[in-house]
């Protein structure tokens, strides 16, 4: 792989340095065709005015991680916190300090957030197939009422819309760590019927010990035009993944491998077994893996006219997992295996209606979501590896019964966007929410401890307001205010309920309530320089936090008060020679008080793992011919957090990356592009999460055919 790394790095550099000179070298009789420009952030002029859009060309760059988290890096206010290069593990994305349980991920407007049971996490980033995407929309912070009960914002994945001319793409790329990525997509609309199909395979050895990944993905969507401006559609997304569970690899281990990086272990599903093993996490080793199979079904019915639109859609999702652990001293000796229906028959239904009435855009809609956790079955256990805790925490030996449809979320919203005058608009919205969580069946615990609580039942009315003022053609001032609630996830509710039964540590558990304040300025100076400044302040009551206690497991509790405040600023400037210079910086601060776990304020009142400063800067090249390139730098400040009861500081780090694309061939039937990406070119040693070092210089290079 050393030869490949050097060759691909040189290819990427050659594309950057020589692309302009080669732009006109097309076959005889062919003329050059401009590709869409690389867009760092395109901001809509009306409606969702602060939304950032990542375009098709940026999405299609080769990705070392195999998931779209790489694409979100570089935007102001976004922090990536992965536990491996391939992005395994939960809560890898933060927007303005809020993790994935406090933001919403959508596909074509419908929520993709999962239940998160058994350590699943809210989002499986690797299951999203970039080959099927047209763009990615990002709305940070306080959102209009129609977007839901989100604190951090929305990431919306927009799938490709088939055109009347068929289009097929095939991409092949390979890179560091024996990484291989391939995909194919096909789109066409013939008469009233349209379809969008895609499939692909991704595999990598990974950087950490036993951190391999092998994933297959496929998606299909059908669209049908109906009489009277009606449209119907359905879709399916499938993924099958095998992830190696990173193995504890430090010098104090009898099974230390000097050829792999120093790193901690990671169980990819729960409940974790390491606390129940006689030798803890060091008892399991190479070959230990988690297999996941995801099925996502969607269907919709829509109607659209010049004045109004209506849409009703549903989603049903399932996930099956199988974990297998092998002895650290003998990778052929199985010590534990279990199967889990992590997401079993969870579903949601949403509807939206909008109508233009003079100067008003009126939007109303609602959502109902039903979810819970499925059964977990232990298919093999060698009890000689386990301590006595399995005698009373029998779910480690026997598994869980599971409890489907235990939680429900329901909402109605109304929103009015009023263009008061050409330079002034007002957004006013109201969202009514209901959240319920039933009492847990003792069999779902694996044992029958009694508890003093029976259920949760809450309802809240959350108002949202925004004022958008454009005193000049090149000036826009936006002010937003709102109230948002965030409700317990399935694992949070389960472990709180369990610990309440044991009377350990916490006895109360409340949903979060956030007051959101934002003020932003977008300004164009001269003919080309675009500048933005955004300030935000979020005040959250009953912030839900967690820790892991030896012999007890996960413990969830409320921090009385958390505030997150920050400023984002940036600019973009077109330069001669088809260059564009851009940069952004984020200053943020997270403070907490009334933390029952950190009573001594060892974190100096700061929210864990939140860098005070993040800076990104880059240079984009778009030649008049078929060449594009991007070089950018990201710097992340130091971060503090707890390791058990010890304060730990992660060092700041700087990443230098580049990507390039060059069209080597085009005729009437087909086009071919060379693509290359190089990350961490300076070979920086860094960690996004403590205990899990990231890779040094990595490269991906390949070819894409379009016909």
For residue 269, is pLDDT > 90? no
Cross-strand partners of 243: 213, 290
Of 58-67, 530-539, 555-564, where does mean pLDDT reach its minimum? Answer: 58-67
Q: If you ran DSSP here, which 8-state letter would residue 249 be given?
A: B
Residue of higher predicted confidence among 180 and 280:
180
**Parallel, antiparallel or unpaired: strands 52-54 and 104-107:** unpaired
pLDDT band at 453 (very low <50, low <70, confident <90, very high): low
Nearest C-alpha neighbor of 650 from the set 662, 641, 660: 641
Residue of higher predicted confidence among 608 and 465:
465
3-state secondary structure of 56: helix
Mean pLDDT of 235-254: 94
Q: Number of C-alpha atoms within 13 angstroms, CB side, residue 590?
A: 23
What is the Cα–Cα distance from 202 to 181, expressed in whole angstroms? 4
Q: Which residues contact 31 (CB under 8 A, 6 or more apart)?
A: none
What is the Cα–Cα distance from 543 to 557, expressed in whole angstroms? 8
pTM as predicted? 0.89
DSSP-assigned states of every residue in 556-585: EEEEEEEEEEEEEEEEEEEETTTEEEEEEE
Mean pLDDT of 483-492: 91
Question: Which pLDDT score, from 0 to 100, does residue 128 have?
Answer: 81
Cβ atoms of 373 and 404 within 8 Å: the answer is: yes
User: What average pLDDT does the chain have?
Assistant: 87
| pLDDT tens-digit readout, 158-173 | 998 899 999 999 999 9
pLDDT band at 330 (very low <50, low <70, confident <90, very high): very high
Angle ∠(638,643,645) on CA atoms, nearest 5? 120
Nearest C-alpha neighbor of 317 from the set 485, 127, 489, 156: 127
What is the Cα–Cα distance from 479 to 460, expressed in whole angstroms? 23
What is the Cα–Cα distance from 662 to 628, expressed in whole angstroms? 7
Nearest C-alpha neighbor of 374 from the set 408, 344, 410: 344
Question: Which pLDDT score, from 0 to 100, does residue 641 have?
Answer: 80
Mean pLDDT of 682-689: 94
Of 23-27, 276-280, 351-355, where does mean pLDDT reach its minimum? Answer: 23-27
What is the Cα–Cα distance from 549 to 495, expressed in whole angstroms? 12
Mean pLDDT of 102-115: 90
What is the Cα–Cα distance from 694 to 688, expressed in whole angstroms? 7
Mean pLDDT of 176-191: 95
What is the Cα–Cα distance from 401 to 422, expressed in whole angstroms? 60
- In 160-259, beta strands by DSSP E: 167-175, 179-190, 193-204, 213-226, 230-244
Omega before 271 within 30 of 0, i.e. cis: yes
For residue 14, is pLDDT > 60? no
For residue 202, is pLDDT > 80? yes
| pLDDT tens-digit readout, 217-240 | 999 999 999 999 999 999 999 999
Question: Which pLDDT score, from 0 to 100, does residue 557 have?
Answer: 87
Mean pLDDT of 60-66: 82
What the block records as the tokens of 182 is 């391939």
What is the Cα–Cα distance from 444 to 404, expressed in whole angstroms? 10
Cβ atoms of 192 and 230 within 8 Å: the answer is: no
Question: Which pLDDT score, from 0 to 100, does residue 284 have?
Answer: 94
3-state secondary structure of 612: coil
Percent over 70 (pLDDT), the chain: 88
For residue 457, is pLDDT > 70? yes
pLDDT band at 444 (very low <50, low <70, confident <90, very high): low
What is the Cα–Cα distance from 108 to 313, expressed in whole angstroms? 11
**Domains of the chain, each with CATH number or no CATH:** 2-37+165-706 (2.40.170.20)
Q: If you ran DSSP here, which 8-state letter would residue 548 be given?
A: E
3-state secondary structure of 102: helix
Helices and strands (H, E) in the chain, number of each type: 6, 36
What is the Cα–Cα distance from 52 to 38, expressed in whole angstroms? 13
Q: Number of C-alpha atoms within 13 angstroms, CB side, residue 567?
A: 6
Q: What is the largest CA-CA distance in the chain?
A: 81
At 494, which helix (H) or strand (E)? helix 490-502
Nearest C-alpha neighbor of 327 from the set 284, 370, 286: 284
Q: If you ran DSSP here, which 8-state letter would residue 599 be given?
A: T
What is the Cα–Cα distance from 623 to 19, expressed in whole angstroms? 8
| pLDDT tens-digit readout, 502-537 | 666 666 788 999 999 999 999 999 889 999 999 999
For residue 84, is pLDDT > 90? no
pLDDT band at 260 (very low <50, low <70, confident <90, very high): very high
For residue 60, is pLDDT > 90? no
What the block records as the tokens of 228 is 């009277």
Question: Which pLDDT score, from 0 to 100, does residue 88 have?
Answer: 60
Q: With 0-12 CB in 10 A as exposed, 13-18 as middle and 19+ as buried, what is 31?
A: exposed
What is the Cα–Cα distance from 62 to 677, expressed in whole angstroms? 6
Q: Which of 57-61, 404-408, 449-453, 634-638 has the highest mean pLDDT?
A: 634-638
What is the Cα–Cα distance from 478 to 476, expressed in whole angstroms? 7
What is the Cα–Cα distance from 467 to 469, expressed in whole angstroms? 6
Question: Which pLDDT score, from 0 to 100, does residue 413 have?
Answer: 98
Question: Which pLDDT score, from 0 to 100, does residue 188 have?
Answer: 96
Question: Which pLDDT score, from 0 to 100, does residue 91 have?
Answer: 80
Angle ∠(338,340,342) on CA atoms, nearest 5? 155
For residue 440, is pLDDT > 90? no
What is the Cα–Cα distance from 702 to 661, expressed in whole angstroms? 10
For residue 80, is pLDDT > 50? yes
Question: Which pLDDT score, from 0 to 100, does residue 447 have?
Answer: 59
For residue 153, is pLDDT > 70? yes
For residue 126, is pLDDT > 50? yes
**Parallel, antiparallel or unpaired: strands 399-400 and 698-706:** unpaired
Of 65-79, 189-203, 415-429, where does mean pLDDT reach its minimum? Answer: 65-79
Question: Which pLDDT score, from 0 to 100, does residue 41 have?
Answer: 36
pLDDT band at 448 (very low <50, low <70, confident <90, very high): low
Angle ∠(75,77,79) on CA atoms, nearest 5? 85
Residues in the chain: 707
What is the Cα–Cα distance from 373 to 661, expressed in whole angstroms? 44
At 493, which helix (H) or strand (E)? helix 490-502
Question: Which pLDDT score, from 0 to 100, does residue 5 have?
Answer: 40
């Amino acid at each position: 792989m050393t030869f490949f790394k050097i060759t691909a790095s040189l290819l990427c550099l050659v594309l950057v340095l020589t692309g302009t000179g080669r732009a006109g070298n097309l076959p005889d009789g062919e003329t050059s065709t401009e590709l869409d420009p690389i867009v760092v952030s395109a901001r809509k002029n009306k409606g969702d005015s602060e939304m950032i859009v990542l375009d098709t060309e940026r999405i299609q760059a080769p990705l070392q991680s195999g998931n779209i988290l790489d694409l979100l890096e570089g935007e102001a206010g976004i922090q990536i916190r992965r536990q491996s290069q391939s992005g395994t593990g939960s809560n890898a994305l933060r927007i303005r300090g809020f993790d994935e349980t406090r933001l919403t991920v959508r596909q074509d407007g419908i929520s993709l957030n999962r239940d998160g049971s058994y350590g699943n996490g809210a989002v499986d980033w690797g299951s999203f197939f970039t080959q099927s995407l047209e763009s990615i929309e990002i709305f940070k912070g306080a959102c209009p009422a129609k977007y839901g009960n989100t604190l951090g914002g929305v990431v919306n994945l927009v799938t490709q819309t088939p055109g009347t001319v068929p289009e097929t793409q095939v991409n092949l790329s390979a890179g560091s760590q024996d990484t291989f990525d391939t995909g194919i997509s096909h789109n066409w609309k013939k008469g009233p019927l349209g379809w969008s199909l895609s499939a692909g395979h991704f595999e990598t050895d990974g950087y950490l010990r036993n951190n391999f990944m092998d994933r297959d993905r496929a998606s299909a969507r059908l669209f049908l035009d109906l009489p009277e401006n009606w449209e119907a559609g359905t879709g399916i997304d499938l993924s099958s993944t095998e992830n190696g569970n990173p193995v504890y690899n430090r010098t104090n281990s009898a099974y230390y491998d000097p050829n792999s990086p120093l790193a901690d272990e990671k169980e990819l599903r729960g409940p974790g077994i390491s606390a129940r093993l006689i030798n803890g996490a060091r008892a399991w080793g190479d070959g230990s893996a988690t297999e996941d199979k995801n099925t996502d079904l969607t269907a919709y019915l829509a109607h659209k006219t010049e004045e109004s639109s209506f849409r009703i859609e549903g989603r049903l999702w399932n996930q099956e997992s199988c974990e297998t652990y092998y002895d650290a001293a003998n990778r052929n000796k199985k010590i534990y295996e279990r199967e889990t229906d992590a997401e079993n028959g969870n579903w949601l239904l949403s509807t939206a209606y909008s109508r233009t009435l003079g100067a008003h855009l009126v939007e109303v809609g609602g959502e109902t979501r039903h979810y819970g956790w499925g059964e977990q079955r232990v298919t093999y256990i060698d009890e000689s590896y386990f301590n006595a805790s399995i005698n009373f925490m029998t779910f480690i030996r026997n598994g869980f019964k599971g409890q489907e449809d235990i939680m429900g979320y329901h909402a109605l919203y109304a929103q009015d966007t009023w263009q008061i005058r050409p330079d002034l608009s007002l957004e006013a919205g109201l969202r009514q929410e209901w959240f319920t969580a039933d009492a847990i069946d003792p069999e779902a615990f694996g044992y029958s401890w009694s508890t003093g609580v029976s259920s949760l039942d809450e309802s809240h009315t959350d108002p949202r307001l925004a004022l958008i003022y454009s005193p000049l053609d090149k000036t826009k001032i936006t002010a937003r205010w709102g109230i948002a609630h965030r409700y317990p996830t399935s694992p949070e509710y389960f472990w709180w309920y369990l610990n309440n039964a044991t009377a350990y540590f916490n006895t109360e558990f409340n949903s979060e309530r956030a007051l959101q304040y934002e003020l932003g300025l977008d300004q164009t100076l001269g003919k080309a320089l675009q500048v933005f400044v955004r300030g935000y302040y979020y005040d959250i009551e009953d912030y839900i936090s967690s820790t892991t206690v030896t012999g007890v497991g996960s413990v969830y509790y409320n921090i009385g008060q958390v505030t997150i405040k920050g400023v984002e600023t940036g600019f973009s400037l077109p330069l001669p020679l088809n260059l564009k210079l851009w940069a952004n910086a984020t200053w943020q601060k997270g403070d907490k008080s009334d933390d029952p776990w950190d009573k001594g304020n060892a974190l100096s009142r700061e929210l864990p793992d939140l860098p005070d400063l993040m800076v990104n800067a880059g240079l984009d090249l778009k030649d008049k011919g078929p060449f594009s390139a991007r070089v950018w730098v990201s710097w992340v400040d130091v971060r503090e957090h707890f390791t058990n009861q010890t304060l730990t500081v992660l060092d700041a780090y700087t990443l230098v990356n580049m990507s390039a694309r060059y069209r080597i061939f085009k005729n009437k039937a087909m086009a071919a592009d060379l693509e290359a990406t190089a990350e961490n070119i300076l070979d920086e040693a860094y960690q996004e999460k403590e205990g899990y070092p990231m890779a040094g210089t990595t490269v991906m290079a390949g070819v894409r055919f379009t016909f």
